[in-house]
């Protein structure tokens, strides 16, 4: 009996450690997924808006600074929008929530949300895993400014849409 009390905690520890390792293996994306996620992000243009200054330096922004949002406002009849810090955003939702949201959400201009609707599930999952693995960084982008109010920081003014 004395022996058993010593063995049981060891078994319990092994079980907990084993299940932790198991769930780690389940959630940690493999190198191919991460490479594909990175490739998809770079060709679908997310950085153009969600990475500050990206298009001004020919895309020469280190990967660890990608998708941290931007202070550049996009102002038009819809108000002024700011490209979200996706490094923070992806930490707040699950992969399943991301897939659902990306296939259904409608956002304000100039976010091409309709292109997210067209990405297939595998692409969305690889993008999510890549961005999630990059980790949280930076601060949240400025809040949306409603139409008729002047934004504080820099903004791009869009003309009225064609009639």
Exactly one of 83, 88, 134, 145 binds ligand HEC (CB under 6 A); which one?
Answer: 83
Note whether 153 binds ligand HEC by CB under 6 A: no
Cβ–Cβ < 8 Å for 38, 63:
yes
Measured distance CA(125)–CA(54) in Å, rounded: 24
Q: State the DSSP string of 71-90.
A: --EEEETTEEEE---HHHHH
Q: Which whole-number Å values give the CA distances from 148 to 71, 75, 77, 156, in the listed order?
A: 19, 10, 9, 15
Q: Which stretch binds ligand HEC (CB under 6 A): 13-21, 23-31, 79-87, 155-163?
A: 79-87
Q: What is the largest CA-CA distance in the chain?
A: 85
- Number of Cβ within 10 Å of residue 142's Cβ equals 18
Q: Which stretch binds ligand HEC (CB under 6 A): 6-14, 17-25, 27-35, 48-56?
A: 48-56
Binding mask 4-33 for ligand HEC (x = CB under 6 A): ------------------------------
Note whether 46 binds ligand HEC by CB under 6 A: yes
With CA atoms as reference, report the closest residue to 129 among 59, 63, 30. Answer: 30
Q: Could you tell me the smallest distance in angstroms from the CB atom of residue 163 to ligand HEC?
A: 22
Cβ–Cβ < 8 Å for 81, 163:
no
Q: Could you tell me the smallest distance in angstroms from the CB atom of residue 31 to ligand HEC?
A: 21
Q: Which stretch binds ligand HEC (CB under 6 A): 7-15, 23-31, 80-88, 152-160?
A: 80-88
Residues that bind ligand HEC (CB under 6 A): 44-46, 48-50, 74, 81-84, 86, 89, 107-108, 110-112, 127, 144
């Amino acid at each position: 009996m004395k022996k058993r009390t010593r063995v049981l905690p060891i078994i319990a520890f092994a079980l907990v450690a084993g299940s932790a390792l198991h769930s780690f293996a389940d959630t940690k994306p493999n190198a191919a997924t991460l490479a594909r996620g990175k490739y998809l992000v770079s060709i679908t243009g997310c950085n153009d808006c969600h990475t500050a200054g990206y298009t001004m330096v020919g895309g020469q922004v280190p990967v660890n600074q990608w998708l941290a949002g931007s202070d550049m406002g996009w102002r038009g009849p819809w108000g002024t929008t700011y490209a979200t810090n996706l490094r923070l955003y992806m930490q707040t939702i699950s992969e399943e929530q991301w897939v659902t949201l990306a296939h259904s959400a409608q956002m304000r201009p100039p976010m091409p949300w309709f292109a997210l609707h067209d990405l297939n599930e595998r692409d969305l999952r690889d993008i999510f895993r890549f961005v999630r693995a990059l980790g949280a960084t930076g601060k949240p982008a400025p809040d949306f400014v409603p139409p008729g109010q002047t934004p504080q920081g820099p903004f791009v003014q869009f003309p009225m849409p064609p009639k």
